[in-house]
């Protein structure tokens, strides 16, 4: 176990964005599997394509975006401390979260084969609920994260909590296959 920890720490120092991108891909894929196996009702075949799509979103969007964002916050606001943490949470929740949720929903909709009209419908149907639920969870997580955790480990903390969040997102965004849509 020590060797794995050492390899991880070395990779994190040498390749912080890449390491955290891979980590996000794995955890987003796992979150989708949790949603499919334990949250969604009824017996059905596992959709491995959907899992790979979620993992791809983590690898190419979520991991790089969060690590880059945390680096920007660290550079311009500071590293640790309660006041620094509060400032970072305010920026994170007012600037990054609303934008990132929209990007995430568009990426998921694109993976689901939606056209522009379908993407608009997806955003209209899901964005508000997901953003509201974001505000129920993430401010407290981020306050602890930004106040107590060093930059290289902040994405790991977030992605660990996001394992359950990603399960919720996977489940919530899969519902529109069965729901009636609001027409734009």
Residue 164 lies in a domain: no
Amino acid 173: pLDDT = 86
Judge whether 174 lies within some domain. Answer: no
Question: Above 80 in pLDDT, residue 177?
Answer: no
Among 129, 117, 111, CA closest to 183: 117
| Diameter of the chain measured on Cα atoms | 55
Per-residue confidence band for 182, with pLDDT thresholds at 50, 70 and 90 = very low
Q: What percent of the chain has pLDDT over 70?
A: 95
Check if the beta carbon of residue 35 is closer than 8 Å to that of residue 174: yes
Residue 41, domain member (yes or no) = yes
User: Residue 161 domain-assigned?
Assistant: no
CA atoms within 13 A on the CB side of 63: 26
Domain extent, residue 65, equals: 1-155
**Residue bearing tokens 């009824």:** 42
Q: Where does the pLDDT of residue 181 fall: very low under 50, low under 70, confident under 90, or very high at 90 and above?
A: very low
The yes-or-no verdict on residue 184 having pLDDT over 60 is no
Residue 178 pLDDT: 47
Two structure tokens written together for 84: 């620094």
How many whole angstroms separate alpha carbon 128 and alpha carbon 157? 25
Domain assignment present for 169: no
* pLDDT bucket at 1, cuts 50 / 70 / 90: confident
Look at the chain and report how many structural domains it folds into.
1
For 80-123, how does the pLDDT look when each residue is reduced to its tens digit (9 = 90+)? 789 999 999 999 999 999 999 999 999 999 999 999 999 999 99
pLDDT tens digits, residue range 39-94? Answer: 887 677 889 999 999 999 999 999 999 999 999 999 999 997 899 999 999 999 99
In a domain, 170, yes or no: no
Residue 183 has pLDDT above 50, yes or no: no
Q: Is 179 left (phi over 0), alpha (psi -120 to 50) or beta?
A: beta
Q: Which residue has the tokens 């009702």?
A: 41
pLDDT at 17 over 90: yes
Average pLDDT taken over every residue of the chain = 90
Residue 96 falls within a domain, yes or no? Answer: yes
* Among 100, 121, 94, residue whose Cα is nearest residue 109: 121
For residue 145, is it within any domain? yes
Name the percent of the chain in helix, strand, coil, to the closest 5.
85, 0, 15
């Amino acid at each position: 176990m020590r060797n794995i920890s050492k390899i991880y720490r070395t990779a994190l120092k040498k390749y912080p964005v890449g390491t955290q991108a891979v980590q996000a891909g794995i955890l987003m894929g796992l979150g989708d599997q949790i949603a499919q196996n334990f949250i969604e009702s009824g017996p059905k075949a596992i959709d491995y394509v959907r899992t790979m799509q979620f993992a791809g979103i983590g690898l190419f969007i979520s991991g790089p975006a969060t690590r880059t964002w945390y680096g920007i916050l660290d550079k311009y606001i500071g590293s640790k401390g309660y006041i620094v943490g509060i400032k970072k949470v305010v920026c994170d929740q007012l600037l990054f979260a609303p934008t990132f949720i929209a990007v995430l929903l568009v990426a998921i909709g694109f993976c689901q084969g939606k056209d522009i009209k379908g993407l608009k419908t997806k955003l209209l149907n899901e964005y508000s609920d997901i953003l509201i639920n974001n505000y129920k969870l993430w401010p407290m997580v981020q306050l602890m994260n930004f106040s107590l955790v060093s930059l290289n480990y902040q994405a790991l903390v977030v992605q660990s909590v996001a394992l359950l969040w990603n399960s919720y997102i996977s489940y919530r965004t899969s519902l529109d296959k069965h729901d009636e849509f609001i027409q734009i």
